[in-house]
Amino acid sequence: MKSSFRRPILAGMLLALAMILVLPPLSLAASGGFPVAVVDDTGYRLEVRKAPARIVSLAPSNTEILFSLGLGDRLVGVTSACDYPEAAAKIDKIGDYNINVEAVVAKRPDLVVAQSDLQMPVVEKLRELGILVLAVEPKTLDEVFESMEMIGIVSGEAERARKVVALLKARVAAVEKAVAGLPKSKMPVVFVEIWNDPLMTAGSGTFVDDLVRRAGGQNLAGEVAGWPQISPELVIASKPDVIILTCFNKAEVMERIAWQRTPALINDVVYEFVPDLLVRPAPRLVDGLEGLAAIFHPDLFKSAR
């Protein structure tokens, strides 16, 4: 009887041990301790044995994320395109959109945070040199939050990252709740002008489209993917209620003769918008969401304008 009683207990203990050994890498960092292991957006498994003291960022979005997590004082290298926050300007530069690998190596980084789609040759070279590289490439707002938590984990700020992300998600939820259930007639048709010559906009699969929809608007180009060129005639025929400009060219738009009969110009609902708030995969996308919602539905978001 005793041996038959012990066998289930032993089996249970072995099963529990096996479960611990195969837990997903992210769970290893639940307490914020080290070592930790994560799998980044390139499918690469990073093992970090101690909190990195020297970090290099290869993209403006990652620089913003690192500062939002309180890691600005650990940054020893950023690109010349890293323009937010202002403190980033004081950090040594390791290139612009073209990364100087030698300059990165010279910084003796414990961790490099990169973007995977545009920077894979650099990422692979740095890994060949034995440098720890975390490469992220969020495509949606939710994936931005996931990237923030992953960066928090490998830097030893997992708990802080969770708290920052929770606050951002709460702000997103507040906007979505306010516009939930609005009839289509109350959702303005929105044209986002990314560039004016040639005329370009943002379609499905972009942060712009996602934010417009979440803010209670209808993207004029939402049925087209990516960053299409669009004819002025199509914009005019679609009768946009709101025009969002990322080129700071409102004066020029307001003088377009053929556009004068659009609802947006008739009612002067034409707004210049900081492009980074709509396209940079970083925490300020939530600022962009709130800004759009205040423009689309001023009656619902009076305090946000």
Token pair of 246 as six digits: 């990322």
Is 128 a residue whose pLDDT tops 50?
yes
Are 185 and 159 in a shared domain? no
Tell me the pLDDT of the chain averaged across its residues. 90
The tokens for 209 are: 């489209």
pLDDT higher than 70, residue 163 = yes
- First-to-last alpha carbon distance for the chain, in angstroms, is 74
Average of pLDDT values for 204-221? 97
Last residue of a domain, one of 115, 136, 165: 165
Contact 201, 210 (CB under 8 A): no
Q: 57: domain CATH number? A: 3.40.50.1980
222-249 residue pLDDT tens: 999 999 999 999 999 999 999 999 999 9
CA dihedral sign, ordered 262, 195, 193, 251: negative
Instruction: Assess whether 198 and 240 both reside in one domain.
Output: yes
Check whether 1 has a pLDDT greater than 50. Answer: no
Instruction: Count up the domains in the chain and report the number.
Output: 2
| Range 79-88 contact pairs with CB under 8 angstroms and sequence separation of 24 or more | 82/57, 84/60, 84/276, 84/284, 88/63
2 located within any domain: no
Q: Using 50, 70 and 90 to split pLDDT, how confident is the model at 303?
A: low
54-93 per-position pLDDT tens digit: 999 999 999 999 999 999 999 999 999 999 999 999 999 9
Cα distances (Å, whole numbers) of residue 302 to 84, 170, 243, 296: 27, 18, 19, 11
Looking at 54-115, list the stretches that DSSP marks H as alpha helix, in order from N- to C-terminal side: 60-68, 101-106
Summarize the confidence of residues 166-183 as an average pLDDT. 97
* HSE value, Cβ hemisphere, 13 Å, CA-based, for 186: 13
Q: Do both 130 and 190 map to the same domain? A: no
Pairwise CA distance, residues 83 & 55, whole Å:
17
Residue 261 sits in the same domain as residue 222:
yes
Q: How many CB atoms lie within 10 A of CB 272?
A: 16
Q: Do 247 and 274 lie in a common domain?
A: yes
Asked if the structure places residue 264 within a domain, the reply is yes
Burial class (CB in 10 A: 0-12, 13-18, 19+), 110: buried
Residue 229 lies in a domain: yes
Asked if 63 and 88 count as a contact pair (C-beta separation under 8 A), the reply is yes
pLDDT score recorded for residue 260? 97
pLDDT on residue 158: 95
Residue 9 domain flag: no
- Whether 158 and 251 map to the same domain: the answer is no
Whether the Cβ atoms of residue 69 and residue 52 lie closer than 8 Å to each other: no
Q: Is residue 7 part of a domain?
A: no
Q: Are residues 132 and 213 in the same domain?
A: no
Domain boundary among the residues 165, 197, 229 is at 165
Contact 259, 251 (CB under 8 A): no
pLDDT interval class at 32 (50, 70, 90): low
121 and 212: one domain? no
Domain membership of residue 297 (yes or no) is: yes
Q: How far is CA 119 from CA 98, 131, 134, 170, in A?
A: 9, 15, 11, 32
Instruction: Please report whether residue 197 resides in a domain.
Output: yes
- Number of CB atoms found within 10 A of residue 1's CB: 5
Judge if 140 and 197 occupy the same domain: no
Shared-domain flag, residues 145 and 260: no
Query: 298: helix, coil or strand?
Result: coil
Last residue of a domain, one of 106, 133, 165: 165
Domain limits at 289?
Answer: 181-304
In a shared domain, residues 132 and 50: yes
The pLDDT tens digits of the residues spanning 130-160 come to 999 999 999 999 999 999 999 999 999 999 9
> Using CA atoms, how far apart are residues 123 and 111, in angstroms rounded to an integer?
12
In a domain, 123, yes or no: yes
Q: Judge if 54 and 114 occupy the same domain.
A: yes
Average pLDDT over residues 201-214: 97
Query: What are the beta bridge partners of residue 192?
Result: 244
